[in-house]
């Protein structure tokens, strides 16, 4: 019977989405889950940190599956835009509470907790791999698909941030239009075999490190 364990993770995921890691008390978690207090430490001997890592990976996997719902091998730019539009509706309907399940935690722990930071990094890795696979399947050059995925995910996460802070889900739709533009550009460059234009930054030269992740 790991029903209790699942309920703990589900409750933690909801609290993480809305309040982040540090503001979520274990007491709140067990109350929301309707679980006995000691059960948390039975299933997660590592305490809050272990439960947090498990929740990050689990809800990351669940959200990753949402990508598959929107891509069916049609117009990949339009499908990308549809994903953003659906996300915008979700953000609004939840009262600007539910957007990305791990973004808040990721920023909180990036410089303070290596275990949880790696968990969030792994989830982003998975998402980027999944999105890249979809763009490659649409005929985009693999390296270009990878950088495109980074930009699309950045647009989504950044738009979530702006939408929640400013209480305006239209930002997510706006970001979706830009994402679609970038996808179309990548598709065009692939079909016409044109290389990506080299950066010509105005003042500071571009970073010397490799651009693709």
Partner DNA sequence: CGGCCTCTAGAGCGATCACTCTAGTCAGGA
Partner DNA sequence: TCCTGACTAGAGTGATCGCTCTAGAGGCCG
| Gap between the Cα atoms of 43 and 66, Å rounded | 28
User: Which partner from the list a copy of itself, DNA, none does 48 bind, CB cut-off 5 to 8 Å by kind?
Assistant: DNA
Give the residue with the Cβ less far from a copy of itself, 5 or 52.
Answer: 52
The site partner of 206 among a copy of itself, DNA, none (C-beta below 5 to 8 Å per kind) is a copy of itself
Long-range contacts at 181-186 (CB < 8 A, ≥ 24 apart): 181/77, 182/148, 182/151, 182/152, 183/76, 183/77, 183/80, 183/135, 183/148, 183/152, 184/77, 186/135, 186/140, 186/141, 186/144, 186/145, 186/148
Stretch that binds DNA, among 32-40, 58-66, 84-92, 157-165 (CB under 7 A): 32-40
Among 29, 35, 70, 138, binds a copy of itself (CB under 8 A): 70
CA–CA separation, 163 vs 157, rounded Å? 10
Q: How far apart are CA 146 and CA 128, in angstroms?
A: 7
Q: Does 26 bind DNA (CB under 7 A)?
A: yes
Residues 37-76 that bind DNA (CB under 7 A): 37-39, 41-43, 47-49
Q: Of 29, 33, 106, 145, which one interacts with a copy of itself (CB under 8 A)?
A: 106
Which residues ranging from 4 to 23 are in contact with a copy of itself (CB under 8 A)?
Answer: 18-20, 22-23
Interaction of residue 112 with a copy of itself, rule CB under 8 A: yes
């Amino acid at each position: 019977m790991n029903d209790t364990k699942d309920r703990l993770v589900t409750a933690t995921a909801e609290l993480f989405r809305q309040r982040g890691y540090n503001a979520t008390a274990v007491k709140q978690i067990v109350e929301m889950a309707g679980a006995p207090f000691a059960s948390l430490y039975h299933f997660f001997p590592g305490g809050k940190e272990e439960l947090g890592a498990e929740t990050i990976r689990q809800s990351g996997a669940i959200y990753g599956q949402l990508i598959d719902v929107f891509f069916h091998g049609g117009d990949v730019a339009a499908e990308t835009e549809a994903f953003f539009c659906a996300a915008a509706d979700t953000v609004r309907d939840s009262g600007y509470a539910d957007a990305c399940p791990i973004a808040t935690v990721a920023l909180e722990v990036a410089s303070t907790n290596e275990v949880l930071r790696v968990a969030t990094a792994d989830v982003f890795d998975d998402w980027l791999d999944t999105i890249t696979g979809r763009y490659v399947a649409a005929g985009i050059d693999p390296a270009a698909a990878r950088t495109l995925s980074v930009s699309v995910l950045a647009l989504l996460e950044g738009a979530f941030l702006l939408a929640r802070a400013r209480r305006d889900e239209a930002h997510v739709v706006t970001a979706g239009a830009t994402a679609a533009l970038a996808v179309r550009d990548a598709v065009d460059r692939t079909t016409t075999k044109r290389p990506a234009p080299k950066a010509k930054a105005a003042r500071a030269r571009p970073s010397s490190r490799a651009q693709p992740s």
